[in-house]
Structure 1
Amino acid sequence: MPDLLRKPPLLATPLITHVVGSRVIVYETTTSTNDCALRLGGDGTVIVAETQTAGRGRHGRAWHSKPGMGLYFSVAFEGAVEGLAFAAPLAVRDAVAPFADAKLKWPNDVLIDGKKFCGVLVETRKGRTVVGIGINVHHMIEDFPEDVRHRATSIEAATGVHCDRGELLRDVLTHLDERVMVIRSGNVDTVFAEWADACDVVGRRVRWTRCEGVVDAIDRDGALIVRAAGGLQRVMLGEIVELEGA
């Protein structure tokens, strides 16, 4: 297995990007790459860790960062980057396209064969925005905690492909940079439309804490507009939504 820390193809030659990867810092262990990125900052700085002791996903859920198995990294940006939560899952989907038909699940999970292999977490603090991306790369099903094995997978478990983590990181960062440049050129609507289409949720029935209904649209903030018995309801990104058939 290639070792990202000892033989990093990403660091051997420069990234051909505009902002993402302006600086790359690799840790063997850290608490959370998002925390490091928020603390260190620098527009386009990438923080990579072989393992995290306090990795987290949405709603504060723990993200299991087993050493040597996954790709755990965050990218820092100075100021707000509208649409970053749309750009990141699209970048992952495109990076794995040569060997996996990945799908997006609202709001920002990436799946292979209906199981999650990638999560995205965007956080903003003191004028700085970071996007954290966790990708299960080499895990086998037995590597996951028992309570998530039915819904989790990895690139290798799902496809049989033993991809190089450094090359995968390079590809994700390249695709992310492309979309960040689109956003910064004033065309965030282009990225939003691509993300909304990829989520493929409009017209589907959903259930959430209050009631259930059919998704009528996705608004510009990424929230679902659901047609329920009591009329239109707005379901925010932070709320738990279960998609039937997903």
Structure 2
Amino acid sequence: MSPQIDIIAETGSTNSDLLARLAKGETLAEGYWLIANRQTSGRGRQGRAWLDAPGNFMGSTLVHLREGDPPVSSLSFVAALAVYRAASGRVARPETLILKWPNDVLLSGAKFCGILLEREGPFAVIGIGVNLAAAPRIAGRQTLALAAVGAPTDRNLFAADLAHSMADELARWREYGAGPLLARWEAAAHRAGSRLSVHCATGEKVSGTYMGLAADGALRLALDDGTTQVIHAGDVMLERD
């Protein structure tokens, strides 16, 4: 079945739109996508604004949460892998794409997408923004767009590829569980032993060496004092070797 994709000219936030429609009891099929040409109040993780630009991808989809599904939090890894797959076929050097915990996809070390996971009752809404044509400036972050590396940037073609990748990743998630999903994520992520700095949700900043993921998808970081810290929420920065 082909995903259903609705494209609108402008909205505040596609995530907010879907959450509101679900809260009102509207029936939306899994695999439905709402995509905006312009998004005036896009939201990122931890309450940040997500800036739009003409020609970029800005859209949201939803997942019907079923009994027996893997943990909802692991859907952020599903979405990151879907973006990674959709982008990999567009760049001349796929090795320039890497996944960064918890749900970033980096292009040549720069941020080029954002993913936001929210919940409304038995539904998960996943918002995704991808810099196809232009990369908005973000204080303290290096950003990049696919157009800057000569990649094809047709928004509608990218949307179709992403929707199919997402459907495929969701099917794998349900059939095989979170373990194989996290293993595939790690294979495409920053290498083991990478130096990371993490701004934790508690406000603490820690640095250490990446030791892979815990069984629940948490980040395992070897600190300089020899201890290991497991981090469940935070912003990660890759330190230069």
Moved more, 109-118 or 203-212: 203-212
Letter in 2 for 1:93: Y
Whole-angstrom CA distance in 1 between matches of 2:55 and 2:218:
33
Across the two proteins, how many residue pairs are aligned to each other?
220
- Counterpart pick for 1:176 among 155, 166, 181: 166
- Counterpart pick for 1:190 among 171, 180, 183: 180
- Structure-1 residue corresponding to 2:222: 227
For the 8 Å contact 2:19–2:125, the answer to whether it is kept is: yes
- Counterpart pick for 1:74 among 60, 67, 91: 60
Q: CA RMSD in A?
A: 2.2
Scaled by the length of structure 2, what TM-score is found? 0.82
Letter in 1 for 2:229: Q
Shift of residue 176, structure 1, vs aligned partner: 0.9
Whole-angstrom CA distance in 2 between matches of 1:99 and 1:69:
16
Whole-angstrom CA distance in 1 between matches of 2:7 and 2:138:
30
Distance 1:232 1:53, change over 3 A: same
Once the two structures are superposed, residues 72-117 of structure 1 have per-residue CA deviations (whole angstroms, 9 ceiling, x without a partner) of 0111122266431111111111112233122212221112111111
Whole-angstrom CA distance in 1 between matches of 2:43 and 2:137:
15
- Structure-2 residue corresponding to 1:167: 157
Shift of residue 169, structure 1, vs aligned partner: 0.6
Scaled by the length of structure 1, what TM-score is found? 0.81
Q: Which runs of 5+ in 1 are unaligned?
A: 1-15
Letter in 1 for 2:227: G
For the 8 Å contact 1:38–1:76, the answer to whether it is kept is: no
Letter in 2 for 1:37: L
- Structure-1 residue corresponding to 2:31: 44
- Could you list the structure 1 runs, at least 4 aligned residues long, displaced by more than 3 angstroms after superposition: 145-148
**Correspondence 1:145 to 2:126:** no
Moved more, 200-209 or 90-99: 200-209
For the 8 Å contact 2:98–2:190, the answer to whether it is kept is: no
**Correspondence 1:218 to 2:199:** no
- Structure-2 residue corresponding to 1:25: 6
Q: Which runs of 5+ in 2 are unaligned?
A: 23-27, 199-203
What are the residue-to-residue correspondences of 1:122-133 with 2, within 5 Å? 122-133=117-128
Whole-angstrom CA distance in 1 between matches of 2:98 and 2:222:
24
Whole-angstrom CA distance in 2 between matches of 1:145 and 1:75:
26
For the 8 Å contact 1:34–1:132, the answer to whether it is kept is: yes
Shift of residue 220, structure 1, vs aligned partner: 2.5
- Structure-2 residue corresponding to 1:3: none
Distance 1:69 1:223, change over 3 A: same
- Counterpart pick for 1:88 among 53, 57, 79: 79
Q: Give secondary structure in 2 for the equivalent of 1:245.
A: coil
For the 8 Å contact 2:33–2:61, the answer to whether it is kept is: yes
For the 8 Å contact 1:202–1:218, the answer to whether it is kept is: no
For the 8 Å contact 2:137–2:143, the answer to whether it is kept is: no
Percent of pairs with identical residues: 30
Whole-angstrom CA distance in 2 between matches of 1:146 and 1:200:
22
**Correspondence 1:58 to 2:45:** yes
Moved more, 182-191 or 89-98: 182-191
Letter in 2 for 1:44: G
Whole-angstrom CA distance in 1 between matches of 2:116 and 2:175:
23
Letter in 1 for 2:43: R
